[in-house]
């Protein structure tokens, strides 16, 4: 018998999924569902519950009640449970990969990478637990004699985790695992376009022995339940990954809650005269096209100095031709479909706007179904929307600049500040540029890649608040508790 029996059932030729609330597998309280379709061929992947405010309230109250159980477990037991989750995901890796390929239209090579990252992130939870260590502060180091303090880290309480469509499985787990190891209970609102892999993880948590109510996974329309959840008085923290516009809205309704947000990006890559152009072209193309550009850390503005621009563009054109478009199930496919009609319409509008204002189309610029062909736009300038707006599509955007000063001005002019790259053989120059770039992370001679979070990352400006990573995520999901003792002179 399949382990997924509690998660789904077959009825009238379709597969109906259930949510995971308070340790039970349930449909929505009004028994409504919505369709999840394969972006590649529009086939029905499954019917998923459309949660109501009543369902959301039940999940949040269950999480609030479970906090005491998690505290009683102790940190070592929590680590043990999460490591078991890693083992179960590894055991059923094929099921998760196949699900991601279908629900997200994700090429199998990327789907495997995402599941491997989940397995690794869960294995690293014992290292994350170190971030729970506090500190001892003797008062006399600052002239306060007779007093000492112990500062400990405590869980914040109920964490509402809201996941995006582009890495629906990994980003959910990158929020859930550190929250749990810190002793928080979690309500995860899975991405509406591709929620099934996250729902399946609820079964993994159940098998691993997580206490009832500690993890709740719900699905549905953010428009209908989003504000209710983000303003709920029992939610203590919101961890959100998504657009800057939605992030700002959440902040406006959340009230006095701790917020942790990774929002939009418009990553610039500065390519200088002394760069290794072969390496720069390869990395910039990969940074722009990976997962069809549907990444907040995508390189979506390549600022290349005019003296080398022609040579660089020839290399970029050569690289883009290597990116095969096709069926996500094909192991050689690197470019799959975009997630939905709205996404492809946005890319098309941005490209057309650039062309109408003088950009030069070198390849691509066409769509077929939900596929947008890998596209290179040269001679992009500051008057074009694609120079400033998130693209979230497979477009290599090249802006020719006179010098480094102009490149820095354009790079920092953006309202976003998530990731950036610099390509130069001069490490001293690279360091100085990296210190001037207004972004949370700068990668030298490579494209941004957050991976499992070994290096801290997060956004400045409209790209978010807080940092994520193996240790940073746990710190974000705890609060400091200071105990001062008067021990006398």
Active centre residues (catalytic): 262, 296
Tokens encoding 368:
């077929």
In angstroms, the CA 118 to CA 99 distance is 14
Residues in the chain, overall count = 489
CA quadruple 275, 276, 277, 283: dihedral sign:
negative
Tokens encoding 377:
């736009």
Of the candidates 121, 79, 319, the one whose C-alpha atom is nearest the C-alpha of residue 210 is 79
Cβ count within 10 A of residue 377: 26
DSSP assignment of 164-203 equals -SSSHHHHHHHHHHHHHHTT-EEEEE--SSS-HHHHHHHH
DSSP assignment of 280-331 equals HHHHHHHHHHGGGG--TT-EEEEEEEHHHHHHHHHHHHHHHTT--BS-TTST
DSSP assignment of 202-249 equals HHHHHHHTPPTTSEEEE-S-HHHHHHHHHT-TT--EEEEES-HHHHHH
Of the candidates 478, 489, 488, the one whose C-alpha atom is nearest the C-alpha of residue 151 is 478
Of the candidates 77, 106, 47, the one whose C-alpha atom is nearest the C-alpha of residue 328 is 106
**Judging by beta carbons within 10 Å of its beta carbon (0-12, 13-18, 19+), is residue 303 exposed, middle or buried?**
buried
In angstroms, the CA 476 to CA 281 distance is 36
Kindly state the DSSP code that residue 397 receives in the 8-state scheme: E
In angstroms, the CA 157 to CA 186 distance is 9
In angstroms, the CA 348 to CA 343 distance is 9
User: Do residues 162 and 253 touch, judged by C-beta distance below 8 A?
Assistant: no
């Amino acid at each position: 018998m399949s382990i997924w029996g509690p998660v789904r059932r077959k009825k009238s030729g379709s597969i109906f999924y259930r949510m995971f609330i308070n340790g039970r597998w349930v449909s929505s309280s009004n028994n409504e569902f919505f369709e999840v379709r394969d972006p590649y061929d529009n086939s029905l992947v499954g019917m998923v519950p459309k949660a109501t405010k009543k369902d959301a309230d039940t999940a949040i109250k269950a999480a609030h009640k479970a906090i005491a159980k998690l505290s009683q477990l102790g940190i070592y037991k929590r680590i043990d449970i999460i490591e078991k989750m890693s083992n179960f995901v590894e055991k059923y890796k094929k099921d998760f990969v196949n699900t991601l390929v279908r629900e997200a239209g994700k090429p199998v090579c990327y789907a495997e990478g995402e599941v491997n990252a989940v397995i690794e992130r869960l294995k690293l939870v014992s290292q994350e637990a170190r971030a729970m260590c506090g500190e001892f502060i003797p008062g006399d180091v600052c002239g306060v004699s007779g007093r000492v303090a112990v500062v400990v880290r405590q869980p914040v309480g109920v964490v509402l985790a809201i996941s995006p469509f582009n890495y629906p499985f990994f980003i959910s787990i990158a929020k859930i695992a550190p929250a749990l190891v810190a002793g928080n209970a979690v309500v995860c609102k899975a991405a509406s376009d591709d929620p099934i892999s996250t729902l399946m993880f609820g079964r993994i948590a159940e098998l691993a022995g997580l206490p009832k109510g500690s993890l709740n996974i719900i699905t549905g329309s953010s428009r209908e339940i989003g504000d209710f959840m983000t303003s709920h008085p029992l939610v203590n923290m919101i961890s959100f990954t998504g657009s800057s516009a939605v992030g700002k809205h959440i902040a406006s309704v959340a009230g006095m809650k701790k917020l942790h947000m990774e929002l939009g990006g418009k990553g610039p890559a500065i390519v200088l005269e002394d760069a290794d152009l072969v390496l720069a072209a390869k990395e910039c193309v990969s940074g722009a096209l990976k997962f069809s550009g549907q990444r907040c850390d995508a390189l979506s503005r390549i600022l290349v100095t005019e003296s080398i621009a022609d040579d660089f563009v020839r290399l970029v054109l050569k690289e883009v031709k290597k990116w095969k478009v096709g069926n996500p199930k094909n192991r050689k496919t690197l470019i799959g479909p975009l997630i939905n009609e709205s996404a492809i319409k946005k890319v098309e509008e941005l490209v057309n706007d650039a062309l109408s204002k003088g950009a030069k189309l070198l390849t691509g610029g066409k769509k077929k179904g939900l596929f947008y062909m890998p596209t290179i736009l040269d001679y992009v300038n500051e008057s074009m929307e694609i120079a400033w707006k998130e693209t979230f599509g497979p477009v290599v955007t090249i802006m020719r600049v006179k010098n480094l000063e102009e490149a820095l001005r354009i790079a920092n002019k953006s309202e976003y500040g998530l990731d950036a790259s610099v390509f130069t053989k001069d490490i001293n120059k690279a360091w100085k540029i990296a210190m001037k770039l207004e972004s949370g992370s700068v990668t030298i001679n490579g494209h941004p890649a957050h991976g499992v979070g070994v290096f801290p990352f997060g956004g400045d400006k409209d790209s978010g608040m807080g940092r994520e990573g193996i240790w940073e995520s746990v710190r974000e999901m705890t609060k400091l508790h200071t105990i001062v003792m008067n021990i006398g002179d």
